[in-house]
Structure 1
Amino acid sequence: MGSEDLKKRVGQNIKRLRMNAGIKSQAELANLCGWKSQSRVGNYEAGTRAVSAIDAEILAKVLGVSPAEILYGNSHNSYDSNTKTKPESNAEWHAGFDLWDGDTPLKDDEVALPFFREVELAAGNGSTFVQENGGCKLRFAKSTLKKSNVDPQHAACVTVSGNSMLPVLRHGTTVGVDTSKKSIVDGEMYAIDHDGMLRVKMLYRTPGGGIRIKSYNNDEFPDEFIQPEKIGEIKIIGWVFWWSVLNIWNN
């Protein structure tokens, strides 16, 4: 289904659910959602504007349904009647994003980690270009860090460059690094200083005290083996406990 067809389908869902809720006009629905103009609902129902995750959440609360029903209607409940079991969901809907900027106060369950925007941890050939972070921060919930057993005092965020860690880490991915965890657990991902090159790789111990450096994109970037006598070339910066990448929608 193309993007235009999808917007029309969502628009039909909104109109149907509005009528089912006894809301006779688009203006009334807009008012209940706290929107000043009727045109937003009108554009949604006409299928001329894509519904954001935040607006889907607002519409769902007003109409007494789930955001999934706004976006997908009843189609997400359909299944082949010839199959014995109904397909199981592998995802859970969560509320939309909260918007904030550098002047927004931290909540009680938030902590701001340093975000080194100008540091490129090369997932490809490596980079030694390092600058001060300029005070940039990235917000995390304390509960999120606690689940990964990460102390905020030993955590920072940096940006990965290169394509050696595809498809897991794309160029531009932001990773969180716990600098207190430097012991190698086979198969875990680490930020390392490899003889002056800052990199994000999976590490494995080898017999005799060596290290195997592995990329996800193993076809283009074969494994590297560091012999015990050259182990001093590797400095483990910390364990990668989190990563995030923004996909770009191309209409």
Structure 2
Amino acid sequence: MSLAALSRMLSRNPTYLQQYITKGSPKKLEEEDRRTLAQFLGVPERELGGPKENSYAPRSDSEWVEVPRLDVDASAGPGTSGAQEKVFDAFRFSRRWLAEQGLDGAQLSAIRVVGDSMEPLLREGDEVLVDSREAPFRDGVHVVRLDDVLLVKRVASKGGGRFSLLSQNLAYPPIDVSADEFAVIGRVVWKSGRV
């Protein structure tokens, strides 16, 4: 990447970094510019003239957890038949962030949402992080298997071993099931998607 391109990335004049390096003008980089460059280049801020304390430094690999992205769709609609759960990629999450959320990276996976039954909460193409830890059931958004079909639905207990699988989109009626008719794969704890 050229100095001009890096300068434009900082929303500066294309000669900004060239002048900084060759003429010493400005005498030091603005703090925000320095931090942005350090993050982009993957180097500590101190290598760009920043202070040693309280500045950006790239995290070591041990501080990250890779969560597998599975080649599986969870239907927010009529249903998709279960495909092979092949890993094709991964999301990287900060180990600290996962701990703050009370999540265990070894129990997480990410899958795609297809269909519109969970709109506006989940849209087609969103990916959801599914926590598959065994825990006492509580109402919420879950990925479930029903008749060999994976669904993403809001699951609510009706008592007496009966449950409702609810869509956010009211065009889809609730599905009433007994505990032995479906399996909870995991709780949806995070989503990503395009704005």
Global fold match (TM > 0.5): yes
Offset from partner CA, 1:24-81 (integer Å, 9 cap, x none):
xx354243688xxxxxxxxxxxxxxxxxxxxxxx987249xxx9xxxxxxxxxxxxxx
1:238 is paired with a residue of what secondary structure?
strand
1:113 is paired with a residue of what secondary structure?
strand
Match 1:216 to one of 139, 150, 168: 168
- Root mean square deviation of aligned Cα: 3.4
Instruction: Evaluate the alpha carbon distance shift between residue 210 and residue 111 of structure 1 in structure 2; reply closer, same or farther with a 3 A threshold.
Output: same
Match 2:76 to one of 108, 123, 129: 123
Match 1:231 to one of 169, 179, 187: 179
Corresponding residue for residue 118 of structure 2: 165
Whether the 8 Å contact between 1:214 and 1:224 is mirrored in structure 2 is: yes
Structural mapping, 1:1-251, within 5 Å: 26-31=13-18, 61-62=32-33, 107-116=61-70, 118-186=71-139, 188-218=140-170, 220-226=171-177, 230-247=178-195
User: Which is bigger in relative contact order (C-alpha 8 A, separation at least 6)?
Assistant: 2
Offset from partner CA, 1:202-225 (integer Å, 9 cap, x none):
11111312001111112x112221
Q: 1:99 offset after TM fit, Å?
A: 9.1
Instruction: Evaluate the alpha carbon distance shift between residue 162 and residue 106 of structure 1 in structure 2; reply closer, same or farther with a 3 A threshold.
Output: farther
Greater strand fraction, Structure 1 or Structure 2: 2
1:136 is paired with a residue of what secondary structure?
strand
Code of the residue aligned with 2:155 in structure 1: it is L
Whether the 8 Å contact between 2:82 and 2:149 is mirrored in structure 1 is: no
Whether the 8 Å contact between 1:182 and 1:238 is mirrored in structure 2 is: no
Greater helix fraction, Structure 1 or Structure 2: 1
Offset from partner CA, 1:68-120 (integer Å, 9 cap, x none):
xxxxxxxxxxxxxxxxxxxxxxxxxxx9x8699xxxx963321111110x201
Instruction: Evaluate the alpha carbon distance shift between residue 61 and residue 191 of structure 1 in structure 2; reply closer, same or farther with a 3 A threshold.
Output: same
Offset from partner CA, 1:93-150 (integer Å, 9 cap, x none):
xx9x8699xxxx963321111110x201111111114134245211111122112211
CA distance in 2, matches of 1:212, 1:99: 50
CA distance in 1, matches of 2:103, 2:85: 23
Code of the residue aligned with 2:18 in structure 1: it is N
Code of the residue aligned with 2:93 in structure 1: it is F
Q: TM-score, normalised by structure 1?
A: 0.56
Identity rate, percent:
26
| Structure 2 gap ranges (5+) | 1-10, 22-28, 43-58
1:202 is paired with a residue of what secondary structure?
strand
CA distance in 1, matches of 2:19, 2:75: 49
CA distance in 1, matches of 2:165, 2:144: 10
CA distance in 2, matches of 1:98, 1:191: 36
2:81 is paired with a residue of what secondary structure?
coil
